[in-house]
Structure 1
Amino acid sequence: MTEPSRKPSLTPQFCFSSGALREFLRLSRSSIDDSINQNLNALITPASAGFDPKSTSHRSPRSTSRQVDPTACNQFKDKVLYPSWQARNDVLYYCGVVASSPDPDDPEATLRAMEKEKDSHRVVDERLDPYSGRFFPREARTEVLASLIRQENQVENIVRTKTWSTIQQRCGGTELTWEQAMNKWREGKGLTLVRP
């Protein structure tokens, strides 16, 4: 069985390193969600029902969506899928808090203040130069992080919806949405609901 994603040590530096944050999310999604069919195929034991010699007398098209044993599927969800989703949720929530907190250690704060001061003394005459009115201040790293977190939360919702659809087709039996199933799992583990 695939191993669940491990949550990295959460520090503001991890969040501000957009490469590290994106790499964690990419690796977690690729090992669990992007390869959900392979993960579910690994749960199928083809010889569990025994070999039927009549099965070789005629050729039948192979079904692309073979059903997975519900017990194996539930184990996969409880031990791999939900913990991986929870790890990504924890990272996105933590980095969202970092993005909405004041950042006294911002290395570009002084540079941005100097640029604003310089812009306030600039003479704008759009008749001479139609582009002279343009001023694009640098974004604070918390603003950049907040934008990244919003994007990643949208991606996470799309990925989980697609994964859950595949699980419902292959495992069957559940009418819950992925949010409801995840909340039920959290309650069973005694975890609190944290919205990113």
Structure 2
Amino acid sequence: MSSDSIEVTAPEALLDANLSFPEETPLIRHLTMTRERCVDPTLADSFLRLLRYGSDDSIKQRLSAYQRHEENSPFKNKRCGSFLRNELYPNWQARNRIITFCRNQLEDMKAELDEKYGQHSATPLKAEVDLRIDPYAAKDRQHEQENRYKELKRLNTWIENQIKIESILLANSNRTLQQNCDQNVNYINEFWKFHRATR
């Protein structure tokens, strides 16, 4: 069973005043993720858009900012390392936490629905209501069941889309980092090491 909510905060470096965001991008700095926010991911989408734009979509701009701030250090060393530790990896980690949380909620929801509506349900309709008193109960239950499974399907589609987007962005960022930092490093693998060490 997953937890009911998680708190996710945009990395401080992302909020650099020198980085201009598109007009339509709301600056959400902190997000409390709940099951409801997974099922209706409007806020999660805005937050993910902010994180993605502030890092992967402007990675060359961000690397240049680190180059200006650390003029005396070799670009491929300290500057890239600072960018990765302070900005990019915490950003990827925040996005991963949101998607993982919603994936866990999806699994919990599926288990709950299967238990309630599955063939081996512990609460058959007759135990819930006498059909002689409410002849529409069976139809209402069927309607509720269909809606719940549609909700589940929408959430599953959203999660799959987010995973695909992340995969593309991380691959593109990895290529950009190899061009501008150390070409022999797989920065995605390094992120997972960072993630395991800091969670």
TM-score in terms of structure 2 length: 0.63
Kindly provide the CA deviation profile for residues 157-190 of structure 1, in whole angstroms up to 9, marking residues without a partner as x. Answer: 1001101111111112543251x1112213443x
Figure out how many residues of one structure are paired with residues of the other and give that number.
148
Shift of residue 2, structure 1, vs aligned partner? 3.0
Q: Any unmatched runs of 5+ in structure 2?
A: 1-11, 16-27, 114-138
Query: Larger radius of gyration, structure 1 or 2?
Result: 1
Alignment partner of 1:84 is 2:95: no
Kindly provide the CA deviation profile for residues 127-177 of structure 1, in whole angstroms up to 9, marking residues without a partner as x. Answer: xxxxxxxxxx66521211011101110110100110111111111254325
SS of residue matched to 2:33: coil
Higher helix share: 2
Pick closer, same or farther for the CA change 1:79–1:155 going to 2, 3 Å. same
- Choose from 21, 37, 43 the match for 1:14: 37
SS of residue matched to 2:32: coil
The answer for the alignment partner of 1:129 in structure 2 is none
Alignment partner of 1:3 is 2:14: yes
Pick closer, same or farther for the CA change 1:6–1:93 going to 2, 3 Å. farther
Amino acid at match of 2:101: Y
Shift of residue 10, structure 1, vs aligned partner? 1.9
The answer for the alignment partner of 1:152 in structure 2 is 162
Q: Any unmatched runs of 5+ in structure 1?
A: 50-66, 117-136, 192-196
What's the RMSD between the two structures over aligned residues?
3.1
Which structure's relative contact order is higher, taking Cα pairs within 8 Å and 6+ residues apart?
A: 1
Q: Equivalents in 2 of 1:177, 1:72: separation in Å? A: 15
Whether the 8 Å CA contact 2:76–2:182 is kept in 1: the answer is no
Between the two proteins, what is the percent identity of the paired residues?
A: 25
Alignment partner of 1:37 is 2:60: yes
Pick closer, same or farther for the CA change 1:100–1:7 going to 2, 3 Å. farther
Q: Equivalents in 2 of 1:115, 1:94: separation in Å? A: 25
Q: Equivalents in 2 of 1:181, 1:28: separation in Å? A: 19
The answer for the alignment partner of 1:95 in structure 2 is 102
Whether the 8 Å CA contact 1:32–1:81 is kept in 2: the answer is yes
Whether the 8 Å CA contact 1:100–1:146 is kept in 2: the answer is no
Higher strand share: 2
TM-score in terms of structure 1 length: 0.64
Pick closer, same or farther for the CA change 1:48–1:84 going to 2, 3 Å. closer
The answer for the alignment partner of 1:113 in structure 2 is 142
Pick closer, same or farther for the CA change 1:42–1:165 going to 2, 3 Å. same
Q: Equivalents in 1 of 2:44, 2:157: separation in Å? A: 13
Q: Equivalents in 2 of 1:46, 1:19: separation in Å? A: 36
The answer for the alignment partner of 1:23 in structure 2 is 46
